[in-house]
Amino acid sequence: MGKRENIVKVVIDYRSLFHLGGVLIALLLLYKTYRLVLGLYIAFIIASVIKPLIDWLQRITKFKIKRGILATLVYVLIFFGLIGIFTSVVSGFLSQLVAMLQIVSYEDKIDQLLEQLRSYPLLEKALAGVEPGAVSLYLQDLLLRTVSLSNTLKGAQSLVGAIPGIIYVFLASWYFVVDRDNIIESLLLPLRDTQATQRLREFITEIELQLGRWAVAQAFLMLIIGVVTYIVLLILRVRYALGLAIVAGLLEIVPTIGPLISVIPALIIAALTGGVVTAVFVLAAYFLIQQLENSLIVPKVMQHAVGIHPLVVILAIAVGQTLAGVSGALLAVPTVVIIRIALGLRSFWDPKS
| pLDDT in the model for residue 267 | 85
AA letter at 57: L
DSSP codes joined into one string, 146-157 = HTSHHHHHHHHH
* pLDDT score for 229: 93
Looking at residue 286, its pLDDT comes to 92
DSSP state of 297: I
Side-chain half-sphere CA neighbours of 313 within 13 A: 20
At 259 the pLDDT is 81
Give yes or no for a contact between 196 and 204, defined as CB atoms under 8 angstroms apart.
no
Count of CB atoms situated within 10 Å of the CB of 91: 10
* Residues present in the chain in total: 353
* Radius of gyration of the chain, Cα coordinates, nearest whole angstrom: 28
Distance in Å from the first CA to the final CA of the chain: 64
DSSP 55: H
- Residue 103 pLDDT: 45
Distant-in-sequence, close-in-space partners of 15: CB < 8 Å, separation ≥ 6: none
| Cα distance between residue 48 and residue 16, in whole Å | 37
By C-alpha distance, which of 333, 328, 290, 340 is closest to 311? 333
pLDDT at 235: 92
Angle at 182 between CA 177 and CA 184, to 5 degrees: 85
For residues 280 and 286, give the distance between their C-alpha atoms in angstroms, rounded to a whole number.
10
Q: Which residues contact residue 136 at a Cβ distance below 8 angstroms, ignoring those fewer than 6 apart?
A: 103, 104, 106, 107, 110, 111
Q: According to the model, what pLDDT value does residue 70 have?
A: 87
Give me the DSSP letters along 294-339.
Answer: IIIIHHHHHHHHH---HHHHHHHHHHHHHHHHHHHHHTHHHHHHHH
Residue 338 burial (CB < 10 Å; 0-12/13-18/19+)? buried
For the chain (353 residues), the mean pLDDT of every run of 10, in chain order, is: 56 66 77 78 84 83 81 86 71 58 54 65 62 59 55 57 78 85 70 68 81 85 92 89 85 78 84 79 90 84 81 83 79 85 63 51
What pLDDT is attached to residue 14?
Answer: 65
| Res 307: pLDDT | 80
Q: Are 71 and 178 in contact (CB under 8 A)?
A: yes
263 by Cβ neighbours in 10 Å (0-12 / 13-18 / 19+) ranks as buried
Query: What backbone phi and psi angles, to 5 degrees, belong to 226?
Result: -65, -45
**Model-level pTM?**
0.66
Largest CA distance in the chain: 106
| pLDDT attached to residue 203 | 81
